[in-house]
Protein backbone atom coordinates (compact mmCIF):
# COMPACT_ATOMS: atom_id res chain seq x y z
CA UNK A 1 0.00 0.00 0.00
CA UNK A 2 2.84 2.40 0.86
CA UNK A 3 4.41 1.81 -2.55
CA UNK A 4 1.18 2.64 -4.36
CA UNK A 5 0.79 5.83 -2.31
CA UNK A 6 4.32 6.76 -3.32
CA UNK A 7 3.59 6.11 -6.99
CA UNK A 8 0.40 8.20 -6.75
CA UNK A 9 2.48 11.02 -5.29
CA UNK A 10 4.97 10.62 -8.16
CA UNK A 11 2.18 11.06 -10.70
CA UNK A 12 0.89 14.20 -8.98
CA UNK A 13 4.34 15.73 -8.51
CA UNK A 14 5.28 15.08 -12.15
CA UNK A 15 2.01 16.64 -13.29
CA UNK A 16 2.41 19.75 -11.12
CA UNK A 17 6.13 20.14 -11.78
CA UNK A 18 5.51 20.09 -15.55
CA UNK A 19 2.88 22.80 -15.05
CA UNK A 20 5.40 24.88 -13.07
CA UNK A 21 8.09 24.41 -15.74
CA UNK A 22 5.62 25.49 -18.40
CA UNK A 23 4.83 28.68 -16.48
CA UNK A 24 8.56 29.30 -16.03
CA UNK A 25 9.29 28.74 -19.73
CA UNK A 26 6.49 31.11 -20.76
CA UNK A 27 7.70 33.79 -18.32
CA UNK A 28 11.31 33.50 -19.56
CA UNK A 29 10.36 33.08 -23.24
CA UNK A 30 12.05 29.67 -23.39
CA UNK A 31 10.18 28.69 -26.52
CA UNK A 32 10.72 26.24 -29.34
CA UNK A 33 10.22 28.41 -32.43
CA UNK A 34 9.10 26.53 -35.57
CA UNK A 35 11.43 26.52 -38.57
CA UNK A 36 11.73 24.72 -41.88
CA UNK A 37 12.95 21.54 -40.16
CA UNK A 38 10.32 21.46 -37.43
CA UNK A 39 7.31 19.18 -37.24
CA UNK A 40 5.21 21.79 -35.43
CA UNK A 41 3.85 25.19 -36.44
CA UNK A 42 3.14 26.96 -33.12
CA UNK A 43 5.79 28.36 -30.72
CA UNK A 44 5.74 26.05 -27.69
CA UNK A 45 7.50 26.09 -24.29
CA UNK A 46 10.32 23.56 -23.99
CA UNK A 47 12.16 21.75 -21.20
CA UNK A 48 9.21 19.95 -19.62
CA UNK A 49 11.13 16.67 -19.50
CA UNK A 50 13.04 18.04 -16.52
CA UNK A 51 9.91 17.19 -14.48
CA UNK A 52 10.37 13.50 -15.36
CA UNK A 53 14.09 13.65 -14.56
CA UNK A 54 13.68 15.25 -11.14
CA UNK A 55 10.69 13.16 -10.13
CA UNK A 56 12.25 9.87 -11.17
CA UNK A 57 15.71 10.45 -9.73
CA UNK A 58 14.41 11.81 -6.41
CA UNK A 59 11.94 8.95 -5.97
CA UNK A 60 14.46 6.29 -7.00
CA UNK A 61 16.93 7.66 -4.47
CA UNK A 62 14.22 7.69 -1.81
CA UNK A 63 13.26 4.09 -2.60
CA UNK A 64 16.91 2.97 -2.45
CA UNK A 65 17.38 4.75 0.89
CA UNK A 66 14.33 2.93 2.23
CA UNK A 67 15.52 -0.43 0.85
CA UNK A 68 12.48 -0.69 -1.42
CA UNK A 69 14.94 -1.06 -4.28
CA UNK A 70 18.61 -2.01 -3.95
CA UNK A 71 21.40 0.52 -4.39
CA UNK A 72 22.97 -1.95 -6.82
CA UNK A 73 19.97 -1.46 -9.09
CA UNK A 74 19.59 2.27 -8.43
CA UNK A 75 23.18 3.50 -8.88
CA UNK A 76 23.49 2.73 -12.62
CA UNK A 77 20.22 4.58 -13.25
CA UNK A 78 20.94 7.53 -10.96
CA UNK A 79 24.43 8.34 -12.21
CA UNK A 80 23.91 7.82 -15.92
CA UNK A 81 20.49 9.46 -15.94
CA UNK A 82 21.68 12.54 -14.02
CA UNK A 83 24.72 13.07 -16.28
CA UNK A 84 22.78 12.74 -19.53
CA UNK A 85 19.97 14.99 -18.25
CA UNK A 86 22.47 17.65 -17.15
CA UNK A 87 24.20 17.72 -20.53
CA UNK A 88 20.82 17.81 -22.28
CA UNK A 89 19.66 20.67 -20.04
CA UNK A 90 22.78 22.70 -20.82
CA UNK A 91 22.35 21.99 -24.53
CA UNK A 92 18.70 23.05 -24.34
CA UNK A 93 19.76 26.42 -22.88
CA UNK A 94 22.78 27.04 -25.10
CA UNK A 95 24.88 24.79 -27.25
CA UNK A 96 27.32 21.99 -26.50
CA UNK A 97 29.47 20.67 -29.35
CA UNK A 98 28.52 17.20 -30.55
CA UNK A 99 31.88 15.71 -29.55
CA UNK A 100 31.44 16.82 -25.92
CA UNK A 101 27.88 15.52 -25.82
CA UNK A 102 29.09 12.19 -27.17
CA UNK A 103 31.87 12.05 -24.58
CA UNK A 104 29.31 12.64 -21.83
CA UNK A 105 27.04 9.97 -23.29
CA UNK A 106 29.81 7.35 -23.30
CA UNK A 107 30.81 8.41 -19.77
CA UNK A 108 27.22 7.84 -18.63
CA UNK A 109 27.19 4.44 -20.33
CA UNK A 110 30.52 3.58 -18.70
CA UNK A 111 29.18 4.52 -15.26
CA UNK A 112 26.14 2.28 -15.70
CA UNK A 113 28.14 -0.66 -17.02
CA UNK A 114 30.69 -0.37 -14.21
CA UNK A 115 27.98 -0.84 -11.57
CA UNK A 116 26.19 -3.55 -13.57
CA UNK A 117 29.36 -5.53 -14.27
CA UNK A 118 29.31 -5.06 -18.04
CA UNK A 119 27.26 -7.12 -20.45
CA UNK A 120 25.78 -10.39 -19.18
CA UNK A 121 25.91 -13.72 -20.99
CA UNK A 122 23.35 -13.54 -23.80
CA UNK A 123 21.34 -16.22 -25.53
CA UNK A 124 21.59 -15.78 -29.30
CA UNK A 125 19.77 -18.24 -31.56
CA UNK A 126 19.99 -20.92 -28.88
CA UNK A 127 23.67 -20.35 -28.12
CA UNK A 128 25.07 -18.67 -25.02
CA UNK A 129 27.49 -15.83 -25.78
CA UNK A 130 29.96 -14.46 -23.22
CA UNK A 131 31.74 -11.55 -24.92
CA UNK A 132 33.92 -10.20 -22.09
CA UNK A 133 35.35 -6.71 -22.67
CA UNK A 134 34.09 -6.72 -26.26
CA UNK A 135 30.61 -7.21 -24.84
CA UNK A 136 31.08 -4.19 -22.56
CA UNK A 137 32.15 -2.07 -25.53
CA UNK A 138 29.13 -3.22 -27.52
CA UNK A 139 26.90 -2.54 -24.52
CA UNK A 140 28.27 1.01 -24.26
CA UNK A 141 27.56 1.59 -27.96
CA UNK A 142 24.07 0.16 -27.47
CA UNK A 143 23.32 2.54 -24.58
CA UNK A 144 24.60 5.55 -26.51
CA UNK A 145 22.53 4.55 -29.54
CA UNK A 146 19.33 4.08 -27.52
CA UNK A 147 19.97 7.46 -25.87
CA UNK A 148 20.43 9.26 -29.17
CA UNK A 149 17.67 7.52 -31.08
CA UNK A 150 15.28 8.62 -28.35
CA UNK A 151 16.41 12.18 -28.97
CA UNK A 152 15.95 11.72 -32.74
CA UNK A 153 12.45 10.28 -32.30
CA UNK A 154 11.19 13.05 -30.01
CA UNK A 155 9.86 15.13 -32.88
CA UNK A 156 6.06 15.19 -32.65
CA UNK A 157 3.64 15.68 -29.78
CA UNK A 158 3.46 12.84 -27.28
CA UNK A 159 5.36 10.21 -29.24
CA UNK A 160 8.40 9.88 -26.92
CA UNK A 161 6.20 9.83 -23.83
CA UNK A 162 3.83 7.22 -25.27
CA UNK A 163 6.74 5.01 -26.36
CA UNK A 164 8.34 5.14 -22.91
CA UNK A 165 5.08 4.32 -21.15
CA UNK A 166 4.28 1.45 -23.53
CA UNK A 167 7.79 -0.05 -23.36
CA UNK A 168 7.99 0.18 -19.57
CA UNK A 169 4.49 -1.15 -18.89
CA UNK A 170 4.99 -3.88 -21.49
CA UNK A 171 8.17 -4.99 -19.72
CA UNK A 172 6.40 -4.79 -16.35
CA UNK A 173 3.63 -7.08 -17.63
CA UNK A 174 6.16 -9.62 -18.93
CA UNK A 175 8.06 -9.48 -15.62
CA UNK A 176 4.85 -10.12 -13.70
CA UNK A 177 3.69 -12.97 -15.95
CA UNK A 178 7.08 -14.71 -15.91
CA UNK A 179 7.72 -14.31 -12.18
CA UNK A 180 10.48 -11.68 -12.33
CA UNK A 181 8.65 -9.37 -9.96
CA UNK A 182 11.88 -8.01 -8.45
CA UNK A 183 12.41 -6.04 -11.68
CA UNK A 184 9.02 -4.32 -11.75
CA UNK A 185 9.47 -1.20 -9.64
CA UNK A 186 12.08 0.78 -11.61
CA UNK A 187 10.30 0.68 -15.02
CA UNK A 188 6.88 1.13 -13.39
CA UNK A 189 8.18 4.24 -11.61
CA UNK A 190 9.45 5.63 -14.92
CA UNK A 191 6.12 5.00 -16.66
CA UNK A 192 4.24 6.84 -13.91
CA UNK A 193 6.64 9.80 -13.93
CA UNK A 194 6.26 10.09 -17.71
CA UNK A 195 2.47 9.81 -17.45
CA UNK A 196 2.33 13.00 -15.38
CA UNK A 197 4.29 14.81 -18.08
CA UNK A 198 2.22 13.30 -20.91
CA UNK A 199 -0.87 15.18 -19.70
CA UNK A 200 0.85 18.38 -20.89
CA UNK A 201 2.64 16.83 -23.88
CA UNK A 202 -0.30 14.95 -25.44
CA UNK A 203 -1.30 16.32 -28.86
CA UNK A 204 -1.65 19.24 -29.17
CA UNK A 205 1.35 19.64 -26.83
CA UNK A 206 1.44 22.52 -24.38
CA UNK A 207 5.12 21.91 -23.58
CA UNK A 208 7.91 19.93 -25.20
CA UNK A 209 10.24 17.45 -23.53
CA UNK A 210 13.58 18.90 -24.62
CA UNK A 211 16.93 17.12 -24.92
CA UNK A 212 17.25 16.77 -21.14
CA UNK A 213 14.11 14.65 -21.03
CA UNK A 214 14.50 12.63 -24.22
CA UNK A 215 18.15 11.76 -23.57
CA UNK A 216 17.31 10.83 -20.00
CA UNK A 217 14.55 8.46 -21.13
CA UNK A 218 16.86 6.85 -23.66
CA UNK A 219 19.70 6.10 -21.23
CA UNK A 220 17.40 4.96 -18.42
CA UNK A 221 15.44 2.62 -20.69
CA UNK A 222 18.69 1.24 -22.08
CA UNK A 223 20.03 0.58 -18.58
CA UNK A 224 16.74 -1.04 -17.52
CA UNK A 225 16.98 -3.42 -20.48
CA UNK A 226 20.53 -4.51 -19.57
CA UNK A 227 19.62 -4.91 -15.90
CA UNK A 228 16.81 -7.22 -17.00
CA UNK A 229 19.24 -9.21 -19.15
CA UNK A 230 21.36 -9.90 -16.06
CA UNK A 231 18.33 -11.62 -14.51
CA UNK A 232 17.15 -13.48 -17.63
CA UNK A 233 18.72 -13.18 -21.08
CA UNK A 234 15.40 -13.32 -22.92
CA UNK A 235 14.24 -10.12 -21.22
CA UNK A 236 16.67 -8.06 -23.30
CA UNK A 237 14.85 -9.30 -26.39
CA UNK A 238 11.58 -8.22 -24.77
CA UNK A 239 12.84 -4.64 -24.45
CA UNK A 240 14.25 -4.61 -28.00
CA UNK A 241 10.90 -5.77 -29.33
CA UNK A 242 8.88 -3.25 -27.30
CA UNK A 243 11.17 -0.44 -28.56
CA UNK A 244 10.80 -1.66 -32.14
CA UNK A 245 9.01 1.39 -33.56
CA UNK A 246 11.77 3.73 -32.41
CA UNK A 247 14.67 1.38 -33.19
CA UNK A 248 13.55 0.58 -36.74
CA UNK A 249 12.58 4.14 -37.72
CA UNK A 250 15.71 5.74 -36.25
CA UNK A 251 18.13 3.08 -37.54
CA UNK A 252 16.58 2.97 -41.01
CA UNK A 253 16.61 6.77 -41.25
CA UNK A 254 20.18 7.09 -39.98
CA UNK A 255 21.40 4.41 -42.39
CA UNK A 256 19.93 6.18 -45.39
CA UNK A 257 21.31 9.54 -44.30
CA UNK A 258 24.79 8.09 -43.75
CA UNK A 259 24.77 6.47 -47.20
CA UNK A 260 23.77 9.83 -48.68
CA UNK A 261 26.59 11.59 -46.84
CA UNK A 262 24.36 13.80 -44.66
CA UNK A 263 25.62 15.26 -41.38
CA UNK A 264 23.91 12.97 -38.90
CA UNK A 265 23.70 15.61 -36.14
CA UNK A 266 22.09 18.16 -38.46
CA UNK A 267 18.40 18.74 -37.74
CA UNK A 268 16.01 17.16 -40.23
CA UNK A 269 12.49 15.83 -40.46
CA UNK A 270 12.92 12.72 -42.58
CA UNK A 271 11.90 10.06 -40.06
CA UNK A 272 8.96 7.86 -41.05
CA UNK A 273 6.86 9.19 -38.17
CA UNK A 274 7.49 12.77 -39.36
CA UNK A 275 6.44 11.96 -42.92
CA UNK A 276 3.38 10.17 -41.52
CA UNK A 277 2.39 13.18 -39.38
CA UNK A 278 2.66 15.51 -42.37
CA UNK A 279 0.58 13.13 -44.47
CA UNK A 280 -2.06 13.00 -41.72
CA UNK A 281 -1.92 16.76 -41.24
CA UNK A 282 -1.57 16.46 -37.45
CA UNK A 283 0.33 14.54 -34.79
CA UNK A 284 -2.43 12.73 -32.90
CA UNK A 285 -3.10 9.88 -35.39
CA UNK A 286 0.60 9.00 -35.55
CA UNK A 287 1.10 9.06 -31.79
CA UNK A 288 -1.99 6.90 -31.28
CA UNK A 289 -0.82 4.64 -34.12
CA UNK A 290 2.48 4.04 -32.33
CA UNK A 291 0.58 3.17 -29.15
CA UNK A 292 -1.60 0.72 -31.10
CA UNK A 293 1.40 -1.00 -32.71
CA UNK A 294 2.99 -1.37 -29.29
CA UNK A 295 -0.15 -2.72 -27.66
CA UNK A 296 -1.56 -5.01 -30.33
CA UNK A 297 1.57 -6.20 -32.16
CA UNK A 298 4.79 -5.79 -30.17
CA UNK A 299 3.42 -6.60 -26.71
CA UNK A 300 1.98 -10.04 -27.63
CA UNK A 301 5.27 -11.03 -29.29
CA UNK A 302 7.17 -9.82 -26.23
CA UNK A 303 5.00 -12.01 -24.00
CA UNK A 304 5.69 -15.05 -26.20
CA UNK A 305 9.43 -14.35 -25.99
CA UNK A 306 9.14 -14.06 -22.21
CA UNK A 307 7.60 -17.52 -22.18
CA UNK A 308 10.24 -19.17 -24.35
CA UNK A 309 9.90 -18.13 -27.99
CA UNK A 310 13.40 -17.67 -29.43
CA UNK A 311 14.30 -14.00 -28.99
CA UNK A 312 15.89 -13.56 -32.42
CA UNK A 313 12.89 -15.15 -34.11
CA UNK A 314 10.56 -12.90 -32.13
CA UNK A 315 12.60 -9.84 -33.09
CA UNK A 316 12.50 -10.69 -36.80
CA UNK A 317 8.76 -11.31 -36.60
CA UNK A 318 8.21 -8.03 -34.74
CA UNK A 319 10.42 -5.87 -36.95
CA UNK A 320 9.36 -7.15 -40.39
CA UNK A 321 6.18 -5.04 -40.70
CA UNK A 322 7.97 -2.10 -39.07
CA UNK A 323 10.58 -2.16 -41.83
CA UNK A 324 7.75 -2.18 -44.36
CA UNK A 325 6.22 0.87 -42.67
CA UNK A 326 9.60 2.64 -42.63
CA UNK A 327 9.87 2.11 -46.40
CA UNK A 328 6.22 3.06 -46.99
CA UNK A 329 6.60 6.32 -45.10
CA UNK A 330 9.95 7.14 -46.76
CA UNK A 331 12.18 6.99 -43.67
CA UNK A 332 15.46 8.75 -44.42
CA UNK A 333 14.46 10.06 -47.86
CA UNK A 334 15.07 13.68 -48.79
CA UNK A 335 11.96 15.76 -48.40
CA UNK A 336 10.57 16.99 -51.68
CA UNK A 337 10.06 20.76 -51.57
CA UNK A 338 7.25 22.24 -53.58
DSSP string, 37-96: T-S--S-EE--THHHHHHHHHHHHHHHHHTTSS-HHHHHHHHHHHHHHHHHHHHHHTS--
> DSSP code of 243?
T
Which helix (H) or strand (E) element contains residue 285?
helix 284-293
- Please give the pLDDT value at position 121: 84
> Which of these, 128, 178, 181, lies nearest to 304 by C-alpha position?
178
Tell me the C-alpha to C-alpha distance, in Å, between residue 16 and each of 48, 66, 150.
Answer: 11, 25, 24
Angle between helices 49-65 and 185-201 (to 10 degrees): 160
- Please give the pLDDT value at position 338: 44
Residue 138 CA to residue 311 CA, distance in Å, equals 18
Tell me the C-alpha to C-alpha distance, in Å, between residue 216 and each of 8, 109, 121.
Answer: 22, 12, 26
Residue 210 CA to residue 151 CA, distance in Å, equals 8
Domain ranges of the chain: 8-30+44-117+130-328
Annotation: binding site for Mg(2+): 151, 211
> Which of these, 289, 292, 262, lies nearest to 277 by C-alpha position?
289
Annotation: binding site: 151, 211
Residue pair 219/53 in contact (Cβ under 8 Å)? The answer is no
Measured distance between the N- and C-terminal CA atoms of the chain, rounded to whole angstroms: 58
- Please give the pLDDT value at position 67: 84
Mean pLDDT for each consecutive 10-residue tract of the chain (338 residues)?
86 97 89 69 87 98 92 97 95 84 96 94 76 90 95 93 98 98 97 97 94 96 97 96 97 91 78 94 96 98 96 96 95 73
Residue 147 CB burial class (10 angstroms; 0-12, 13-18, ≥19): buried
Contacts of residue 263, defined as CB under 8 A and 6 or more positions apart, other chains included, come to none
Tell me the C-alpha to C-alpha distance, in Å, between residue 142 and each of 138, 180, 262, 314.
Answer: 6, 24, 22, 19
Residue 224 CA to residue 104 CA, distance in Å, equals 19
Q: How many CB atoms lie within 10 A of CB 121?
A: 12
Q: What is the C-alpha radius of gyration for the chain, rounded to an integer number of angstroms? A: 19
> Which of these, 42, 51, 54, lies nearest to 200 by C-alpha position?
51
Q: In the Cβ-directed half-sphere of 216, how many Cα atoms lie within 13 Å? A: 30
Residues in the chain: 338
User: How does DSSP assign 103-148, residue by residue?
Assistant: HHHHHHHHHHHHHHTSPPPEEETTEEE--HHHHHHHHHHHHHHHHH
Residue 165 CA to residue 55 CA, distance in Å, equals 15
- Please give the pLDDT value at position 1: 47
Q: Vertex 247, ends 245 and 250: CA angle to 5°?
A: 100
Which helix (H) or strand (E) element contains residue 44?
strand 44-45
Amino acid sequence: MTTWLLFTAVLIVSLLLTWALRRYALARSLMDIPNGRSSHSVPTPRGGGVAVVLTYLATLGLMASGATISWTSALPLLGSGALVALVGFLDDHGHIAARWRLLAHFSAAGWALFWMGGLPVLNFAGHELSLGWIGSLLAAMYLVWILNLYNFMDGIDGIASVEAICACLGAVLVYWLTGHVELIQAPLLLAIAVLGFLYWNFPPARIFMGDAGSGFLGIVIGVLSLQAAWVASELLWVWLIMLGVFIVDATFTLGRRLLRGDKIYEAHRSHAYQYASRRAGRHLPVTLGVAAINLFWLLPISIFVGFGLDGLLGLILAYSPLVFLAIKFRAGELEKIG
